[in-house]
Structure 1
Amino acid sequence: MLQVSVVVPCFNETEVIDAFHASLITALEPTGQTFEICYVDDGSRDRTRWQLRELTRSDPRVRYTSFSRNFGKEAAMLAGLRMSRGQAVVLMDADLQHPPELVPRMLELHRHGYDQVVAQRDRTGEGVLRTALSRIYYRLVRRCMDVEVVDGAGDFRLLSRHAVDSVLSLPESNRFSKGIFSWIGFDTAGFTYRNVRRAAGHSKWGGRNLLNYGIDGLLSFNSRPLRLAIHTGLWLFLSALAYALWIITNVALNGVDAPGYTSLMTGIVGLSGIQLATLGIIGEYVGRIYHETKHRPHYVVRETDASPGPLPSGGPSASSVGQARSES
Structure 2
Amino acid sequence: MRKLLSIVTPCYNEEANIDELCLRINKVMEKLDYDYEHIFIDNCSTDGSVQKLRGIAAADKRVKLILNARNFGHIRSPYHALLQSRGDACVLIASDLQDPPEMIEEFVQKWEEGFKTVLAVKPESEESPIMFFARKTYYGFVSKISEVPLVKNATGAGLFDRVVLEVLRTLDDPYPYFRGLLCEIGFPIATVPFKQPRRQRGITKNNFYTLYDIAMLGITNHSKVPLRLMVMGGGILALLSLLMAFGFLVAKLIFWDSFQMGIAPMLISLFFFSSVQILFLGMLGEYIGSVHTQIRNMPLVVEAERVNFD
Q: TM-score, normalised by structure 2?
A: 0.94
User: Hey, which bits of structure 1, 4+ residues long, moved more than 4 A?
Assistant: none
After superposition, what is the alpha-carbon deviation per residue over 1:153-204, rounded to whole angstroms, capped at 9, x for unaligned?
1211100000111122212222111111111121221121121122310111
Q: Work out the CA distance in 1 between the residues paired with 2:46 and 2:263.
A: 57
What's the secondary structure of 1:123's corresponding residue? Answer: strand
Q: CA deviation at 1:306?
A: 5.2
1:4, 1:34 within 8 Å by CA — same for their partners in 2?
Answer: yes
1:174, 1:220 within 8 Å by CA — same for their partners in 2?
Answer: no
Which residue in 2 is equivalent to 1:262?
Answer: 264
1:81, 1:168 within 8 Å by CA — same for their partners in 2?
Answer: no
1:118, 1:189 within 8 Å by CA — same for their partners in 2?
Answer: yes
For residue 291 of structure 1, the aligned residue among 290, 293, 300 is 293
Which residue in 2 is equivalent to 1:11?
Answer: 12
Count of residues paired in the alignment:
308
RMSD: 1.8
1:147, 1:221 within 8 Å by CA — same for their partners in 2?
Answer: yes
Equivalent AA in structure 2 for residue 252 of structure 1: L
Asked if residue 53 in structure 1 is aligned to residue 54 in structure 2, the reply is: yes
Q: CA deviation at 1:143?
A: 2.1
What's the secondary structure of 1:299's corresponding residue? Answer: coil
Q: Structure 1 unaligned segments of length 5 or more: list them.
A: 309-328
Q: Give matches, 1:1-328, under 5 Å.
A: 2-255=3-256, 257-305=259-307
1:7, 1:40 within 8 Å by CA — same for their partners in 2?
Answer: yes
Moved more, 204-213 or 13-22: 204-213
Q: Structure 2 unaligned segments of length 5 or more: list them.
A: none
What's the secondary structure of 1:15's corresponding residue? Answer: helix
Q: Cα–Cα, structure 1 residues 298 and 100, in superposed 2: closer, same or farther, change >3 Å? A: same
Equivalent AA in structure 2 for residue 237 of structure 1: A
Which residue in 2 is equivalent to 1:320?
Answer: none
2:17, 2:96 within 8 Å by CA — same for their partners in 1?
Answer: yes
What's the secondary structure of 2:86's corresponding residue? Answer: coil
Equivalent AA in structure 1 for residue 50 of structure 2: R
Q: State the identity as a percent.
A: 26
What's the secondary structure of 1:100's corresponding residue? Answer: coil
Q: Work out the CA distance in 2 between the residues paired with 1:185 and 1:6.
A: 23
1:115, 1:188 within 8 Å by CA — same for their partners in 2?
Answer: yes
Q: TM-score, normalised by structure 1?
A: 0.89
Q: Work out the CA distance in 2 between the residues paired with 1:297 and 1:270.
A: 42
1:91, 1:156 within 8 Å by CA — same for their partners in 2?
Answer: yes
Q: Cα–Cα, structure 1 residues 293 and 97, in superposed 2: closer, same or farther, change >3 Å? A: same
Q: Cα–Cα, structure 1 residues 225 and 142, in superposed 2: closer, same or farther, change >3 Å? A: same
Equivalent AA in structure 1 for residue 282 of structure 2: G
Equivalent AA in structure 2 for residue 244 of structure 1: A
